[in-house]
Structure 1
Amino acid sequence: MNFTASFQGLIGGVLIGLSATWLMATLGRIAGISGIIGTLITTRPRGDSAWRLAFGIGLVSGPVLALFIGGLGNVAGAPNEVIGQPSGGMPLMLVAGLLVGLGTGLGSGCTSGHGVCGLARLSVRSLAATVTFLIAAIITVFVVRHVMGGNV
């Protein structure tokens, strides 16, 4: 068992939980990425943009730091890569991102809003959304690996 990876996952989960709790306690907002960034881009709320922008910068700065600081974990297949190339290629990645964006609109939220914050608030709607996300992910991996013969 890789205790370093497990410890990194534990620390990451604790930090996500603390940041979601901090956002709710200080601003009364749910840390749902699609809602935070989507509202910033589409409606540009007055007086409510600074924290949304800071949240977005924080999301991007983590992976950027991981690129420049070694030893933060390797999710790529090669030792000298930090992130690596998308396994299905860039066009598939763009289509997948578009579908995720459409899905968050249809589901009125994303995995962070429903899965982390909604479940913590014992929201039945968030439970239904999270179960739907998981079922869709399981089916997608099964189809790609076993029906299409891909490597995800």
Structure 2
Amino acid sequence: MQNTNLDIGLLDPSVLTFYINPRGFLALKKGEEDFKRVKLTRALPLTDPDAYIAVSDMSGKEIGILKSLLDLPEEQQKLLQNELSKTYYCPTITQVRSIREKLGYFYFDAKVDEVHRTFAVKDISRSIKQMDDSTVFIADVDGNRYIIRDFAAIHPASRRKLEPYLY
């Protein structure tokens, strides 16, 4: 019987050292191998963002999968969290002032991270996802992602504007 860890390419955290290279990019020393620049990709960015992180070189070749950030020393966890936050930046919507439809696009006027912002959504049924009772994700036409972390906690007027689009 084969080892399941090898089948999916899990990395052994005890032989990994992530660092920032002289050019400011994330790099990895894995045992004797030194990868001068690596890219991180979350397998489950919405439901389990700290688990199953794919590590690839810049040509896209997968080096392996880190089962959990918690398996690394605290300093390494912080380094990877910082790098992942750059890739998976998702500003928080705290208020929805209006949603207008025009020519198949929905235009949002919202308060995002305490800043007034407007953005457009094309296919509203695919672009707004309610993940659970409290979390709502919205993707705009430019590929930006927004989150409402606690739908019940936002102002009732904002909830009323969004509720018709939640499925």
**Which category describes the TM-score, using the shorter chain as reference length?**
under 0.3
Question: Please, what TM-score do these two structures have when normalized by structure 1?
Answer: 0.26
Question: Please, what TM-score do these two structures have when normalized by structure 2?
Answer: 0.24
If asked which structure has higher relative contact order (CA below 8 Å, sep 6+), I would say 1
Larger radius of gyration: 2
More strand, by proportion: 2
More helix, by proportion: 1
